[in-house]
């Protein structure tokens, strides 16, 4: 099995590439889904969950994927939107297993969980909502060490939802950096809402990576990075798509129409030749130019996003609580997820 242990490379490095998705699995699909030099892929399927482990090993793979060197684990659960309690439990347990492999925490290590996002904007409120449902123990282990300790399978966990620059006037990365210097955790877990290419992936796909995160990058508002390079401690990022770039959706729709026209056009005709020379990036830029004067950089989300966010937050919090506190069962964890 391709275990996602700590990776080596420039985790915080920016890879400038015209791939409009936060998901490594979608970046690979854009390359045709075949073998890519410098990239290892392993897929594991069950009746409900498909787990893909993508490891970008070197600069060649990073350049091809448009993602930093590191490990990306994706859990795809098409039925997660249905809010089935048994499925949520299964996903949480699978997520916990992947997190344990990636975190590499010792019993007495301290974990700092950061819920990124703006709690006033529903599609961006995932991080704060997950933090609300976590089992926080750092203060309890200090005041009641006999009851809350590592012998009972409880780890020291603290958390914060720092808001966004527009609310606080402070870069989120600067807030987290100050916490790290004061608390000195061995791990940061950053939870953020992502942008995807496909509406089907909203609230059905969970990505875990060891490369950190750049808040706002999915909607073109890239802020200070939360990475091992900037924070000085290991960073594990957890994200779920909640929005889709409207220009990307329009571009994909146009590609489908062009494909249909191409199949019906007479080979060798002027119309057929015109369809053959249309460039995907040029089409995307044209769509952006049409949209920008009216709506700027538009992203779209389902109308039921409030219930989807609540359901996703319960799932992520369940997986995190199981991974961080090995001595607590899912039945006990579930009482914190209401």
Task: Write out pLDDT tens, residues 188-229.
Answer: 999 999 988 888 899 999 999 999 987 755 555 556 789 999
CA separation, residue 151 to residues 86, 87, 107, 326, 328 (Å): 29, 30, 9, 10, 12
pLDDT at 296: 61
Give the model confidence (pLDDT) of 153-177 as tens digits.
Answer: 899 999 999 998 888 999 999 999 9
Token look-up 């914060």 returns 160
d(C-alpha 264, C-alpha 323), whole Å: 54
In this structure, what are the phi and psi dihedrals at residue 36, rounded to the nearest 5 degrees?
Answer: -125, 130
d(C-alpha 166, C-alpha 223), whole Å: 12
3-state per-residue secondary structure call for 256-302: HHHHHHHHHCCCCCHHHHHHHHCCHHHHHHHHHHHHHHHHCCCEECC
Domain boundaries, the chain: 24-247+299-334, 248-295
Give the model confidence (pLDDT) of 55-100 as tens digits.
Answer: 999 999 888 888 889 999 999 999 999 989 999 999 999 999 999 9
Pairing between β-strand 156-160 and β-strand 70-76 as defined by DSSP bridges: unpaired
Residue 7 pLDDT level (bands cut at 50, 70, 90): very low
Q: Which residues contact 255 (CB under 8 A, 6 or more apart)?
A: 280, 283
pLDDT at 303: 92
Q: Which residues contact 138 (CB under 8 A, 6 or more apart)?
A: 110, 156, 157, 158
pLDDT at 155: 94
Residue 5 pLDDT level (bands cut at 50, 70, 90): very low
Residue 77 · residue 105 · CB < 8 Å: no
Domain 24-247+299-334 -> CATH class: alpha beta
Which three-class secondary structure state does DSSP give residue 21? coil
pLDDT at 11: 37
C-alpha angle 223-137-238 in degrees, rounded to nearest 5: 35
pTM of the predicted protein model: 0.83
- Residue 285, pLDDT > 80, answer no
The pLDDT mean for the chain works out to 85
């Amino acid at each position: 099995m391709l275990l996602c242990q700590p990776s080596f490379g420039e985790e915080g490095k920016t890879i400038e590439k015209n791939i409009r998705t936060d998901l490594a699995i979608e970046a690979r699909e854009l390359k045709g889904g075949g073998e890519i030099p410098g990239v290892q892929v392993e897929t594991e399927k069950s009746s409900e969950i498909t787990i893909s482990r993508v490891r970008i090993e070197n600069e060649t793979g990073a350049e091809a994927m448009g993602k930093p060197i590191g490990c990306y684990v994706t859990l795809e659960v098409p039925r997660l939107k249905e809010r089935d309690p048994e499925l949520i439990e299964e996903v949480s347990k699978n997520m916990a297993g992947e997190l344990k492999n990636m975190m590499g925490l010792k019993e007495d290590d301290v974990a700092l969980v950061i819920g990124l996002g703006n709690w006033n904007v529903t599609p961006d409120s995932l991080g704060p909502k997950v933090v609300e449902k976590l089992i926080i123990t750092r203060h309890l282990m200090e005041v009641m060490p006999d009851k809350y300790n590592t012998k009972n399978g409880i780890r020291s966990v603290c958390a914060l939802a720092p808001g966004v620059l527009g609310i606080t006037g402070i870069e989120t990365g600067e807030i987290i950096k100050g916490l790290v210097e004061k608390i000195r955790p061995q791990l940061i877990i950053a939870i953020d809402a992502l942008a995807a290419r496909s509406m089907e992936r909203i609230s059905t796909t969970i990505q875990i990576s060891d490369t950190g995160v750049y808040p706002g990058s999915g909607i073109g508002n890239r802020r200070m990075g939360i990475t091992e390079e900037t924070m000085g401690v290991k960073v594990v990022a957890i994200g779920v798509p909640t929005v889709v770039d409207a220009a990307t959706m329009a571009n994909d729709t146009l590609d489908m129409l062009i494909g249909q026209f191409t199949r019906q056009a007479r080979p060798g005709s002027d119309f057929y030749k015109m369809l053959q020379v249309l460039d995907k990036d040029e089409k995307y830029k044209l769509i952006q130019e049409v949209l920008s004067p009216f709506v700027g950089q538009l992203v779209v989300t389902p109308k039921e996003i409030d219930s989807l966010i609540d359901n996703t937050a319960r799932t992520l919090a369940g997986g995190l609580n199981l991974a961080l506190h090995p001595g607590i069962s899912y039945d006990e964890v579930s009482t914190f997820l209401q």
